[in-house]
A = this chain, B = another copy of it.
Amino acid sequence: MKSGVSIDDVLAEVALMVRPQFGKGRPADYIPQLAGVDPNKFGMAVCTVSGGEHVIGDADEPFSAQSITKLFALGLALNQIGDEVWTRVGKEPSGTPFNFLSQLEYEHGVPRNPFINAGALAITDILLDTVKAPELLVRDFIGMLSGSQLEIDEAVAQSEIDTAHKNRAIANLMRGAGTITHEVEAVIAAYCRQCAITISCRQLARAALPLAADGFSPIAEETIFPSRLTRRLNALLLTCGTYDSVGSFAYRVGLPAKSGVGGGILAVVPGQATIAVWSPELDRFGSSVVGTAALEYFAQLTNCSVL
């Protein structure tokens, strides 16, 4: 980032700049719990590797983390079994929507990357090899990294489980192909419950600090990921983190990032800071409209793009 920039001033300016973006997207509506969230919410938090913490708006209000949890689940799986993860899932952008199924049929049940639903289900399956409730492992891992106790929203979780037909189709296809080995319902339940973890922008920016700090968590006061793995996670975020709009996102924002249909986006400025933003209205790819704009403006004002 440009030296001499006041992050608080930048956040205040960004909050003004994004105003015209409200009303352009639509909150996730596939379950009532997400459809009912106030669309005008907006929060943003920046944590620097040097310990700074800057927030604006609804930065302390918990929202549904959804797909952002996939990043942490992947981190756990890589810490557990290392590169063996890549025998079960690829690391290429899919070029297709996050819940696309046909690619799996053509490619022998191996998902393109760990951030589309199919890939995240494969990661859940890996975690199920060692624990009974991977969603609690993920919840407590993010909690530990954020210095707080996180919750799973049981109403959201149940609603996701009840309507997860497409994910069940995906999981059954992978079960038939052998890339999922546990009972489909166990995988689906753990996955849906993991998606239902709630978190605030401040907690999320804190939890992601290892990705900006070469693998070290200043909150947990320990090294979470080896340096090389940290870069690789950032590479995966940049090429696969925002579904089938990953090219446009890199073009506009230029930072590794992971979005979720709860309206949250997590972005990383390697070596410097993490940024978490939340606003519920989504574009047609499933990323927050206001959140993407906020990150774009932030990157412009601070000159923090990696590119």
Please give the residue numbers on chain A whose beta carbons come within 8 Å of chain B beta carbons, in ascending order. 90-96, 100-103, 105-106, 112-113, 165-166, 168-173, 175-176, 184, 231-232, 234-236, 238-240, 244-248, 250-251, 254, 256, 270, 305-307
Would you list 13 pairs from A and B whose C-beta atoms are within 8 A, ordered by A residue? A90-B247, A91-B247, A92-B245, A93-B95, A93-B246, A101-B101, A101-B173, A102-B106, A113-B247, A235-B247, A238-B250, A239-B251, A306-B306
Q: In the complex, A113 Cα to B247 Cα: how many Å?
A: 9
The residue in A106, A245, A250, A305 that gathers the most chain B C-beta atoms within 10 A of its C-beta is A250
Q: In the complex, A169 Cα to B188 Cα: how many Å?
A: 13
Interchain CB contact (< 8 A) of A184 among B112, B168, B247: B168
Q: In the complex, A168 Cα to B175 Cα: how many Å?
A: 10
Smallest CB separation, A42 vs chain B (Å): 25
Smallest CB separation, A133 vs chain B (Å): 23
Interchain CB contact (< 8 A) of A165 among B112, B166, B173, B256: B173
Smallest CB separation, A78 vs chain B (Å): 11
**Is there contact, CB below 8 Å, between B165 and A172?**
yes
Q: In the complex, A90 Cα to B101 Cα: how many Å?
A: 21
**Is there contact, CB below 8 Å, between A307 and B234?**
yes
Q: Closest residue of chain B to A167, judged by CB?
A: B172
**Residues of chain B within 8 A of A246, CB atoms compared:** 92-93, 239
Q: In the complex, A234 Cα to B102 Cα: how many Å?
A: 31
Q: Decide: A307 near B238, CB < 8 A? Known: A92-B95, A95-B96.
A: yes
Apart from A238-B239, A238-B250, A239-B250, what are 8 other A-B pairs with CB-CB below 8 Å? A93-B239, A95-B112, A113-B247, A165-B172, A169-B171, A234-B307, A235-B247, A235-B251
Q: In the complex, A231 Cα to B254 Cα: how many Å?
A: 8
**Residues of chain B within 8 A of A168, CB atoms compared:** 168-169, 172, 184
**Residues of chain B within 8 A of A173, CB atoms compared:** 101, 165-166, 169
**Residues of chain B within 8 A of A244, CB atoms compared:** 92
**Residues of chain B within 8 A of A96, CB atoms compared:** 95
Smallest CB separation, A186 vs chain B (Å): 14
Q: In the complex, A102 Cα to B104 Cα: how many Å?
A: 9
Q: Decide: A305 near B166, CB < 8 A? Known: A247-B91, A250-B239.
A: no
Q: In the complex, A251 Cα to B231 Cα: how many Å?
A: 8
Q: Closest residue of chain B to A299, judged by CB?
A: B231
Q: In the complex, A262 Cα to B168 Cα: how many Å?
A: 28
**Residues of chain B within 8 A of A113, CB atoms compared:** 247
Smallest CB separation, A212 vs chain B (Å): 11
Smallest CB separation, A277 vs chain B (Å): 19
